[in-house]
A and B are shown apart, each in its own frame.
Chain A
Amino acid sequence: MTVEEIRGSDHEIDRFPIGMRVLAVDDNPTCLKLLEGLLRKCQYHVTTTNQAITALNMLRENRNRFDLVISDVYMPDMDGFKLLELVGLEMDLPVIMLSGNGDRNLVMKGVTHGACDYLVKPVRLEELRNIWQHVIRRKVESKSKNNHEKSDQGKEGGDQNEKLNRKRKDEDTDEENGNESDDPTTKKKARVVWSIDLHRKFVAAINQLGIEKAVPKRILDLMNVDGLTRENVASHLQKYRLYLKRISQQANMVVTFGGNDASSYMRMSPLDGLGDFRTLSCSGRLPNATYAPPGMLGRLNSATGVALHSLTAPPLVQPNHTQTKLQPAVSSNHQNVNLFQGIPPSFDLDQRQYCSKPNTQLTDVSSIDESRIFTGTNLAGFSSIDEPRMFRGSSTFTDPISVLANQAGVKLTSTGAESFNDLSDNSGFLDQNGNQPPNFSSNLNLLPLAESYSYPAVINGGFSSNITTAAAPIEPHGGGLVGDIVQNVNRSLPNQKGGTRSKQDYSQYSQNALTTQATTSALAGYGSLSGPVSHSRPNGGRSIPVQTEQIKLQSGFVSNKSYGSLDDIIPGMMKQEQDTTMPMNGEFGYDPYIDPDREYNDESSL
């Protein structure tokens, strides 16, 4: 066949019911002509006869020649119902009855004799447009019958499919069909199962042809599989195209969401890194505990783990660089969260909450907490990420927070994340407080905490400021710790910040956190943080030092950029903290997460 023919046939096949072969039988010439005109208008292929016997002979001669029969009921040479019966029995073709009489009894008779449908004259075009469904239905039934019986009868159905595809073109194909149908269990007959191999071949063929040029016929030829029909390929191609579309839409979403820095973060920390973080994080605490608010944390961990992976997708990490506002970051995080496909829904939600909150909040420390957590967590994940990033981007992490959490308690810092967010925004972070979190850019809010956190308190443990404040920063590192710390920080922050921030407490936490964090290299970034943090840490300092040290260990990166500024930040943060209500303490909601040993609870929310 020529290309055109092939294409044409493919085209037809693809465009079923166009080209469906109908046999029209009516002794009334006017009615027959009308019927013919209507069917042609529907783009069917029409054959007419005014004699039932002729029709029967035609069908018997080659049952594969037609897809559907439409017959009048009252005919001189043969009763329409009789014809109906015979066709159904011998050829298993769908038959539609036609009559000027719509009498219920007649209709009933038609149905009981096996008619697919009963139309009353004058027939309308709309009615005829839908008759192809009977063909499909019959085929489906046949196929299932085939599967069961593998009988010749079944073949009819399968053959019909074949017919559709081939007959259209020319009679030659009928023979093919005939041949194929000779084999009772030919694939044609049976439903085609698209096995992995088959699908691989299919995809390979498509790739070879190019998706634009992939027409069923060509695909079929390339695949070179016996018994596979163009129609099979055509329908499979249709599904495949829909699938591709769906995938690309998802991908777009991901890209849209995560495209930001966060993604970069994510990328930075390869999943592997994340994994590391996780372990690092919070010495175990974080990952699970994740400062994230009670429910969240738990989720975070898991989520983060997941998220992290998924984080690679931009979404999570999105750096909230909104720096100017945490909020923006938060929102971005949200998106990220969503994007994380891997992230458990709950997690996402939580994260989002966090994220959103913190970012937006910064003012609301409490809310931030969550975000902080994220940020913190993010940081954790960031282990691989540059420190600076950690601090900075954290905001974006909001979602990542979960990630972070996993990664390192850092997430928790998210709570401080808020602060982080600010921080992460890197600078934006401080904005809220007025301080610019130095590098918090790393979404990790965590890190930023330390830095940017204006949370004075936060800085404590580095994180203590939790999250909101850079305090968290320390925590973030640890991944888990950070978070913890953050929480602590948060909690303590309030203390601290308000001046009451019990940095000390915080520091305690942070210390703990730090220590843990320290252990967790995740804090890497924080490590540096800790360094600075410690310095700045308002809190008891005692803890801080410890922490900071630890942090230092951990975060190599943390310190980078921002740390230097941490010192600056911290004070700034502190200010911020003061400025902002450091609700963090209890507000972080870390409570749940917090290390059992810790006394976060002293703060309220904790």
Chain B
Amino acid sequence: MEQNHTKRQIKVTRNSLFEQGYLDEQFSQLEDLQDEANPNFVKEIVTLFFSDSTRLIRNVENALESYPLDFCKLDDYMHQFMGSSSSIGAKKVKNECTQFQECCKAMNADGCIRAFQRVKQEHAVLKRKLEAYFQVSL
């Protein structure tokens, strides 16, 4: 019974992540890649994402503190962030990164800062949710 409940819960959690737009189709692809040869593929790659993206966020924060802002560099960072986010299907995070990049292109410092705040926020939310998800599904 508990197991059933857990399974159901997992499913519910997962579905809500999709429904709420935190995850997209790409995440399903990750799940497809998980098989006997790669039993923990999804968890591994998500873990990797978060460790990598945390590092990136730190880099961006540092870059934002310098003056004047190096938009190119920022753009590069965002490019990477975008790459990783899209790879795991982190939809909302990816969208915020796009916004950030727009500001960079526009050389909009304030815009960049604000956009980045949102990126961090979405990133944190997703992390929480996926951690919960994986804990349950483990």
Q: Which residues of A does B touch, CB under 8 Å?
A: 27-31, 33-34, 37-38, 40-41, 74, 100-101, 121-122, 124-125
The contact sample of 28 A-B pairs, CB cut-off 8 A, is A27-B80, A28-B52, A28-B83, A28-B84, A28-B87, A29-B48, A30-B49, A30-B52, A30-B83, A30-B84, A30-B87, A31-B84, A31-B87, A33-B45, A34-B30, A34-B45, A34-B87, A37-B33, A38-B33, A40-B33, A41-B32, A41-B35, A74-B76, A74-B79, A121-B86, A122-B29, A125-B29, A125-B33
**Pairwise interchain contact A121-B83, C-beta atoms closer than 8 A:** yes
* 12 further contact pairs, Cβ within 8 A, besides A34-B87, A101-B79: A27-B80, A28-B87, A29-B84, A30-B49, A30-B52, A30-B88, A34-B45, A37-B33, A37-B45, A40-B37, A122-B29, A122-B87
**Pairwise interchain contact B87-A121, C-beta atoms closer than 8 A:** yes
Question: What 5 A-B pairs come out closest when comparing CB atoms?
Answer: A30-B84, A100-B83, A37-B33, A34-B87, A30-B49
Residue numbers in A under 8 Å from B48 (CB-CB): 29-30, 33
Chain A CB within 8 A of B82 CB: yes
Residue numbers in B under 8 Å from A121 (CB-CB): 83, 86-87
Assess A100 versus B86: contact at CB under 8 Å? Given A33-B44, A33-B48. yes
Closest to B24 in A: A122
Interface class of chain A by DSSP: helix
Residue numbers in B under 8 Å from A125 (CB-CB): 29, 32-33
**Pairwise interchain contact A122-B45, C-beta atoms closer than 8 A:** no
CA distance A122 to B26 in the complex (A): 8
Residue numbers in A under 8 Å from B49 (CB-CB): 30
Closest to B84 in A: A30
Chain A CB within 8 A of B135 CB: no
Nearest CB of B to A480, in Å: 75
CA distance A286 to B76 in the complex (A): 90
Residue numbers in B under 8 Å from A40 (CB-CB): 33, 37-38
Residue tally, chain B, CB below 8 Å to A: 25
CA distance A299 to B15 in the complex (A): 75
Nearest CB of A to B83, in Å: 4
CA distance A444 to B79 in the complex (A): 86
Chain B stretch 38-92: residues in CB contact (< 8 A) with chain A? 38, 41, 44-45, 48-49, 52-53, 76, 79-80, 82-84, 86-89
Chain B stretch 108-134: residues in CB contact (< 8 A) with chain A? none
Residue numbers in A under 8 Å from B35 (CB-CB): 41
Residue numbers in A under 8 Å from B45 (CB-CB): 30, 33-34, 37
**Pairwise interchain contact A124-B29, C-beta atoms closer than 8 A:** yes
CA distance A30 to B47 in the complex (A): 9
Residue numbers in A under 8 Å from B89 (CB-CB): 122
Residue numbers in A under 8 Å from B88 (CB-CB): 30, 34
Assess A28 versus B44: contact at CB under 8 Å? Given A34-B30, A37-B33. no
Residue numbers in B under 8 Å from A101 (CB-CB): 79
Closest to A26 in B: B83
CA distance A308 to B88 in the complex (A): 72
Q: Which residues of B does A touch, CB under 8 Å?
A: 26, 29-30, 32-33, 35, 37-38, 41, 44-45, 48-49, 52-53, 76, 79-80, 82-84, 86-89
Nearest CB of A to B42, in Å: 9
CA distance A295 to B48 in the complex (A): 81
Nearest CB of B to A49, in Å: 15
CA distance A34 to B89 in the complex (A): 11
**Pairwise interchain contact A122-B86, C-beta atoms closer than 8 A:** yes
Nearest CB of A to B118, in Å: 19
Closest to A38 in B: B33
Closest to B42 in A: A37
Closest to A100 in B: B83
Q: Counting chain A CB atoms within 10 Å of each CB, which of B49, B79, B87, B89 scores highest?
A: B87
CA distance A122 to B89 in the complex (A): 9
CA distance A33 to B40 in the complex (A): 12
CA distance A293 to B80 in the complex (A): 82
CA distance A30 to B49 in the complex (A): 5
The residue that B38 contacts in the complex, of A29, A30, A37, A122, with Cβ under 8 A, is A37
Nearest CB of A to B101, in Å: 10
Residue numbers in A under 8 Å from B41 (CB-CB): 37
The residue that B52 contacts in the complex, of A29, A38, A41, A74, with Cβ under 8 A, is A29
Residue numbers in B under 8 Å from A124 (CB-CB): 29
CA distance A167 to B114 in the complex (A): 52
CA distance A124 to B53 in the complex (A): 22
Nearest CB of A to B128, in Å: 18
Nearest CB of A to B87, in Å: 5
CA distance A517 to B72 in the complex (A): 101
CA distance A34 to B87 in the complex (A): 7
Residue numbers in B under 8 Å from A34 (CB-CB): 30, 33, 45, 87-88
CA distance A28 to B89 in the complex (A): 15
Nearest CB of B to A393, in Å: 65
Nearest CB of A to B11, in Å: 23
Residue numbers in B under 8 Å from A37 (CB-CB): 30, 33, 38, 41, 45
CA distance A125 to B87 in the complex (A): 12
CA distance A122 to B29 in the complex (A): 10
Q: Counting chain B CB atoms within 10 Å of each CB, which of A30, A33, A100 scores highest?
A: A30
Residue numbers in B under 8 Å from A30 (CB-CB): 45, 48-49, 52-53, 83-84, 87-88
CA distance A34 to B29 in the complex (A): 10
**Pairwise interchain contact B33-A41, C-beta atoms closer than 8 A:** yes
CA distance A101 to B79 in the complex (A): 8
Nearest CB of A to B56, in Å: 9
Q: Counting chain B CB atoms within 10 Å of each CB, which of A37, A38, A41, A101 scores highest?
A: A37
The residue that B80 contacts in the complex, of A28, A38, A122, with Cβ under 8 A, is A28
CA distance A100 to B97 in the complex (A): 13
CA distance A460 to B86 in the complex (A): 93
Closest to B80 in A: A28
**Pairwise interchain contact A31-B83, C-beta atoms closer than 8 A:** yes
CA distance A38 to B29 in the complex (A): 9
Closest to A37 in B: B33
CA distance A29 to B33 in the complex (A): 17
Nearest CB of B to A429, in Å: 70
Closest to B90 in A: A30
Closest to B49 in A: A30
Residue numbers in B under 8 Å from A122 (CB-CB): 26, 29, 86-87, 89
Residue numbers in A under 8 Å from B30 (CB-CB): 34, 37
CA distance A40 to B39 in the complex (A): 13
